[in-house]
């Protein structure tokens, strides 16, 4: 498999961590969309990462859809989002909160990155940052309840909810440094540190920027 993207993208990173967790080999073709859009466009008309090319050449886009396909390949016993029932709903809800935090941190970051200073709309940045804070407050409470060794929705093994929360926390720490995660959300910060120490995360490190 070939993963097109880079690990500053939390969406690409959650795919990479999931593949690593499931022991599915892949090669990263490191591409930064805004530096090299044509390398992405030939695989994805939206010109977005992540894009995953399967061994038979089929191309998948959109992290939720990619992870759904990976779960199907992994099989019922190993999938990172349960196939059905209350546990699936809990994992999906927490994953949505983690991924929503990624999106909101990304939007706040993009506002400053892609607008000249006089066109940055500060209330919009604050609106997005506040949504990140709301998500992190919720995840912090979940991490507190999970304890030192547990997982966020009480699954026996790490789920997509855990990967999403930890990847979102690390991403926000990189692109929204004004948010003091360690002080404001200590349980989430500890939980993220525990996840980041795992081999599956360490093999998908954030690039130097």
Ligand X SMILES: N[C@@H](CCC(=O)N[C@@H](CS)C(=O)NCC(=O)O)C(=O)O
Q: Measured from the CB of residue 150, what is the shortest distance to ligand X in angstroms? A: 26
Interaction between residue 50 and ligand X (CB under 6 A): yes
Among 16, 49, 135, 188, binds ligand X (CB under 6 A): 49
Phi and psi at residue 156, in whole multiples of 5°? -75, -30
Find the part of the chain contacting ligand X (CB under 6 A) among 43-51, 69-77, 135-143, 175-183.
Answer: 43-51
First and final C-alpha spacing in the chain? 26
Q: Measured from the CB of residue 9, what is the shortest distance to ligand X in angstroms? A: 3
Residue 141: closest CA among 111, 172, 170, 184: 184
Q: Measured from the CB of residue 196, what is the shortest distance to ligand X in angstroms? A: 19
Q: Measured from the CB of residue 61, what is the shortest distance to ligand X in angstroms? A: 7
31 versus 181: smaller Cβ distance to ligand X:
31
Size of the site for ligand X (CB under 6 A): 9
- The neighbour count for residue 137, using CB atoms within 10 Å, is 12
Among 4, 16, 31, 48, binds ligand X (CB under 6 A): 48
Cis check: omega of the bond before 50, within 30 degrees of 0: yes
Phi and psi at residue 61, in whole multiples of 5°? -130, 160
CB-count burial class (<10 Å; 0-12, 13-18, 19+) for 195: buried
Residue 164: closest CA among 104, 109, 92, 112: 92
Quote the crossing angle between the two packed helices 10-21 and 63-74, to the nearest 10°. Answer: 0
Among 9, 95, 142, 160, binds ligand X (CB under 6 A): 9
Q: Which of residues 149-208 bind ligand X (CB under 6 A)?
A: none
DSSP H stretches of helix in 115-159: 122-146
Q: Measured from the CB of residue 125, what is the shortest distance to ligand X in angstroms? A: 17
Among 62, 68, 111, 190, binds ligand X (CB under 6 A): 62
Q: Measured from the CB of residue 48, what is the shortest distance to ligand X in angstroms? A: 3
Interaction between residue 111 and ligand X (CB under 6 A): no
Interaction between residue 29 and ligand X (CB under 6 A): no
Residue 10: closest CA among 128, 127, 164: 164
- Interaction site with ligand X (CB under 6 A): 9, 11, 33, 48-50, 62-63, 106
């Amino acid at each position: 498999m070939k993963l097109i993207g880079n690990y500053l993208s939390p969406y690409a990173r959650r795919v990479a961590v999931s593949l690593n967790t499931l022991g599915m080999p892949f090669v990263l073709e490191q591409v930064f969309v805004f530096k090299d859009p044509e390398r992405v466009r030939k695989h994805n008309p939206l010109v977005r990462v992540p894009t995953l090319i399967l061994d038979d050449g089929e191309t998948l886009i959109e992290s939720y859809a990619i992870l759904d396909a990976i779960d199907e390949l992994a099989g019922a016993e190993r999938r990172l989002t349960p196939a059905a029932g209350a546990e699936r709903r809990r994992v999906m809800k927490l994953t949505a909160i983690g991924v929503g935090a990624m999106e909101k941190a990304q939007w706040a970051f993009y506002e400053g990155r892609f607008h000249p200073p006089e066109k940055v709309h500060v209330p919009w940045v604050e609106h997005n940052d506040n949504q990140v804070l709301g998500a992190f407050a919720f995840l912090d409470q979940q991490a507190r309840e999970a304890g030192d060794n547990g997982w966020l929705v009480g699954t026996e093994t790490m789920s997509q909810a855990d990967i999403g929360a930890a990847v979102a926390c690390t991403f926000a720490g990189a692109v929204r440094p004004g948010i003091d995660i360690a002080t404001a959300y200590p349980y989430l910060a500890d939980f993220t540190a525990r996840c980041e120490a795992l081999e599956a995360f360490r093999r998908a490190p954030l690039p130097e920027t």
